[in-house]
Amino acid sequence: MIELNKLTLPEKPVSLTRRQFTQLAATGLATQLLSRALGQSSQKTIGYAMVGLGRISMGHFMPGLKTAKQSTLTGLVSGHRGKAEKQAAEYGVPTTAIYNYENFDSIRDNKQIDAVYIALPNSMHAEYTIRAAKAGKHVLCEKPMATSVDDCKAMIQACRDNNVKLMIAYRCQLEPTNLRAIDLIRSGKLGVIQAIESANGFNIQPGEWRLDKKLAGGGPLMDVGIYSLNACRYLTGEEPQVLFAYSSVIDKDGRFNTVEENVGWTMKFPSGIVASCNTTYGARMEGYYRVHGSKGVLHVEPAFGYQGLHLTAQFNGGENLDEPNPTKDPSQFTAEADYFSDCVLTNKEPKMDGAEGLRDMQYIAEIYKSCGISF
C-alpha cells in the first residue's frame, strides 16, 4: 500500500475539504488566489508563441486561437523552419517571430510574445518552461507537466522567481461537461459519493515518441491515464490518501520496450470514496468516468476528448439526464487559451497551476513505484 500522506504536497486550494470548497465555490472565491505575478491590465490580449509544432498545437491549439477573444498567435518555435514559415503565413505571424530551439531565449526581446504554449515531448517541458520563465514569458504547458517531481518543482520555482504565471493545460477543468459533472456532485444532487470508475487509453501505433521513455517519461499513465487521475481529484475535490497499482506489458511487438502497456490502479480518498482506474496503450479505451452516489449515478463518455462529450445520469427518483455537448473542436482550446490570458491580464492564479501539475506527478510517481517501475 502506498501511503500518500507521507507526500509533501504543494499547497493548493483544492486541498480544502469538500464543504470548504463548496462554500468557496458558491462565493466565487475558489479560484481567486493571490498571485505573485504582475497584472497587465492595460493590455487586452495575450500573444502566444507556440513551442513545438505537432498535432496538438497545429491541429487544435492554434486553430483554437483563431476565435479566441483575449489570445492571439504571435510567435512560433520549431526545429523545422519550413513548417514554421507555412504556419506563420497562415496565421499572419511575422517571420521575425519564428524561433528555433537554439535561439529560443531571444523571445525575451519580442514584446508581442507574452506567453508560450509548450507542446513538446514530455521530457522537454521542464527545460522550455524554465527558459521561457527566464525570458519573462508566462507559460501554458501541456500535461503531463514534466517527467519527474523534481522537474515540476523546478518549473514552479522558475516561474515564481521570474514573476510569470504557470498553467498546466488541464483543459477538462474548464470544459462545460466536466464542470457540469463537478456541479452535480458538489450540489449534492448525486447524494453521497461512494465510488468512481474511470479509464482512458488507446491502441498506439508504433514509432510514436510517446513510446520512448526518454521523451515521454512513461507510458499511457503519463499520457492518458493522467486524465482519469486528475478527474478523480476534481470530481471528488479531494486528494487521494492511498493508492495501489499494477502494470503489465502483454504485446511483445516492440512497442513496449521502454514504457508500460497497461496500468490498473485503485485509490482511496479521505472521505472514503474508492476509485478504480485503468489506462492502456494496447486497446480500445474511450475515456470515461462513472460516479456512484447514494442518490444517482453519473456517467460521462467521452469525458476527455476534444469534442462529442456526453453526460448522462440516472437519479433514484426516476429523473434522467442526457446531455450531449454540441461544442466542436477546437473550442476547448479557445477557452483554455482565453482562460490563461484572463489569468495573466487580471493577475489571477490559474486553478490548474503548477501545484496541480506537481500533485499529479507525485501521484504518478507513487503509481509507478507501486508497479515496481522506476520513475
Distance between CA atoms of residues 69 and 54, nearest Å: 23
The correct pick among 247, 325, 331, 362 for binding its own copies (CB under 8 A) is: 247
Classify strands 138-141 and 71-77 as parallel, antiparallel or unpaired.
Answer: unpaired
Q: Residue 347: helix, strand or coil by DSSP?
A: coil
Verify binding: residue 171, its own copies, rule CB under 8 A. Answer: no
| Nearest alpha-carbon partner for 140 in 76, 209, 51 | 51
The correct pick among 52, 64, 121, 201 for binding its own copies (CB under 8 A) is: 201
Site for its own copies in 62-91 (CB under 8 A): none
Distance between CA atoms of residues 352 and 323, nearest Å: 25
143 is catalytic: yes
| Nearest alpha-carbon partner for 237 in 275, 209, 266, 208 | 275
The correct pick among 61, 265, 304, 339 for binding its own copies (CB under 8 A) is: 265
Number of Cβ within 10 Å of residue 248's Cβ equals 14
Distance between CA atoms of residues 35 and 22, nearest Å: 22
User: Catalytic: which of 170, 227, 234, 288?
Assistant: 227
CA distances from 35 to 40, 48, 101, 219, 351 (A): 13, 21, 30, 34, 11
| Nearest alpha-carbon partner for 196 in 66, 288, 334, 92 | 288
Verify binding: residue 237, its own copies, rule CB under 8 A. Answer: no
Torsion sign across C-alpha atoms 369, 305, 182, 168: positive
Verify binding: residue 211, its own copies, rule CB under 8 A. Answer: no
Least distance between its own copies and beta carbon 195 (Å)? 4
The correct pick among 4, 154, 274, 321 for binding its own copies (CB under 8 A) is: 274
The correct pick among 83, 86, 189, 295 for binding its own copies (CB under 8 A) is: 295
Least distance between its own copies and beta carbon 26 (Å)? 23
The correct pick among 76, 199, 226, 303 for binding its own copies (CB under 8 A) is: 199
Least distance between its own copies and beta carbon 316 (Å)? 7
128 is catalytic: no
Site for its own copies in 330-359 (CB under 8 A): none
Supply the residues annotated as catalytic.
143, 227
Residues interacting with its own copies, by CB under 8 A? Answer: 1, 191-197, 199, 201, 203, 242, 244-251, 261-268, 271-280, 282-286, 290, 292-297, 314, 316
